[in-house]
Structure 1
Amino acid sequence: MSRDELWDAPAATEPIRARVTVPGSKSATNRALVLAALAEGPSTLYRPLRSRDTLLMAGALRALGAEIEDVPATAAGAVASWLVKPAEQLTGGTEVDMGAAGTVMRFVPPIAALADGPVRFDGDPRSHERPVGPLVDALRALGAEIDDAGHPGHFPLTVLGRGGLRGGAVEIDASASSQFVSALLLSGARFAEGVDVRHVGGRLPSLPYIAMAVQMVREAGVEVDDSEPERWQVRPGAIKPVTQTIEPDLSNAAPFLAAALVTGGAVTIADWPRQTTQPGDRLREILTLMGATCEFTESGLECRGSGTIHGVDLDLADEAELTPTIAALAALADGPSRLRGIGHIRLHETDRLAAIAAEINGLGGRVKELPEELLIEPAPLHGGVFHTYEDHRLATAGAVLGLAVPGVQVQDVATTGKTLPDFTGRWAALLAGTDYAG
Structure 2
Amino acid sequence: MTPLDPWPAPRAVVPVDATVSLPGSKSLTNRALLLAAIADGPSVVRRALRSRDTLLMADALTALGSTVDTSGEDWTVTPGPFDADAEIDCGLAGTVMRFVPPVAGLSTGKIDFDGDPHMRNRPVGEVLHALRTLRMDISAGDRLPFTVSGAGHVRGGTVVVDASASSQFISALLLAGARYDDGVDVRHEGPPVPSLPHIEMTVEMLREQGITVDDSQKDRWKVLPGPIHAVDRAIEPDLSNAAPFLALAAVSGGTVTVRDWPERTTQAGDALREILTRMGCTVEFVDDGLAVTGNGPLQGVELDLHDVGELTPAIAALCALAETPSRLTGVAHIRAHETDRLAALATELTSLGADVTELPDGLEIRPATLSGGVFHTYADHRMAHAGVIIGAAIDGVLVENVETTSKTFPHFADFWSGLL
Secondary structure (helix, strand or coil) at the match of 1:409 reads strand
Given that 2:177 and 2:184 are in contact with CA atoms closer than 8 Å, whether structure 1 keeps it comes out as yes
Q: Deviations over 1:96-148 (max 9, x none)?
A: 00001000010000011111011000000111100111111100111111003
Corresponding residue of 2:294:
305
State the match for 1:169 in structure 2.
Answer: 158
- 2:147 aligned residue (147, 152, 158): 158
Alignment partner, residue 363 of structure 1: 352
Give the alignment's Cα RMSD to 1 decimal.
0.8
**Local SS of the residue matching 1:95:** strand
Query: Which deviations, in whole Å up to 9, do the C-alpha atoms of 1:221-278 show, x marking residues without a partner?
Result: 1111111111111001100001010000000000000001101110000000000000
Aligned AA (1:97): D
Deviations 1:42-70 (Å, cap 9, x if unpaired)? Answer: 00010000000000000100000110112
Question: How many residues matched?
Answer: 420
- How far off its partner does 1:396 sit? 1.2
Check whether the contact 1:92–1:161 (CA below 8 A) recurs between aligned residues: no
Q: Does 1:86 align with 2:82?
A: no
1:95 partner amino acid: E
Question: 1:201: Cα distance to partner?
Answer: 0.8
State the SS of the aligned residue for 1:15.
coil
Q: Tell me which amino acid in the other structure corresponds to 2:124.
A: V
CA contact (8 A) 2:284 2:291 kept: yes
Q: Contact conserved, 2:4 with 2:402, CA < 8 A, in 1?
A: no
**Alpha-carbon separation, structure 1, partners of 2:269 and 2:392:** 22
For residues 290-333 of structure 1, the C-alpha deviation after alignment (integer angstroms, 9 at most, x for no partner) is 01010000011000000210000000001000000000000000
Displacement of 1:71 in angstroms is 4.5
State the one-letter code of the partner of 1:65.
Answer: G
Aligned residues of 1:20 and 1:430 also touching (Cα < 8 A): no
Contact kept, 8 Å, 2:183 with 2:223, in 1: the verdict is yes
Matches within 5 A, 1:330-349: 330-349=319-338
Where does residue 123 of structure 1 map in the other structure? 115
The answer to whether the Cα contact below 8 Å between 2:198 and 2:266 also exists between their aligned partners in 1 is: yes
Helix, strand or coil for the counterpart of 1:159? strand
Percentage of identical aligned residues: 58
User: What pairs with 1:37-436 in structure 2 (closer than 5 Å)?
Assistant: 37-72=37-72, 80-87=73-80, 89-148=81-140, 152-431=141-420
TM-score (norm 1): 0.95
Unaligned runs of 5+ in 2: none
2:62·2:68 contact (CA, 8 Å) conserved in 1?
Answer: yes
Q: In the aligned structure 2, how far is the partner of 1:137 from the partner of 1:403?
A: 45
2:261, 2:26 → 1: CA distance? Answer: 15
Q: Deviation per CA, 1:340-393, whole angstroms, max 9, x where unpaired?
A: 100000000000000000000000111111111100011101100000000001
| SS class of match (1:400) | helix
Extract unaligned runs of 5+ from structure 1: 73-79, 432-438
Q: In the aligned structure 2, how far is the partner of 1:68 from the partner of 1:93?
A: 18
Amino acid at match of 1:367: V
Counterpart amino acid of 2:83?
T
After superposition, give the CA deviation of every residue in 1:168-216 in whole Å (9 maximum; x if it has no partner). 0111110000001000110000001000000111111000000000000
CA distance in 1, matches of 2:277, 2:371: 27
Matched residue SS, 2:178: helix
Report how far residue 92 of structure 1 moved.
Answer: 3.6
Contact 1:218 1:224 in 2 (8 A): yes
Amino acid at match of 2:7: W
Counterparts of 1:299 and 1:321 in 2: how far apart (Å)? 25
Q: C-alpha distance in 1, partners of 2:76/2:27?
A: 18
Q: Which runs of 4+ in 1 moved over 6 A?
A: none
Contact residue 340 and residue 373 of structure 1 kept, 8 A: yes
Deviation at 1:3, TM superposition (A): 4.1
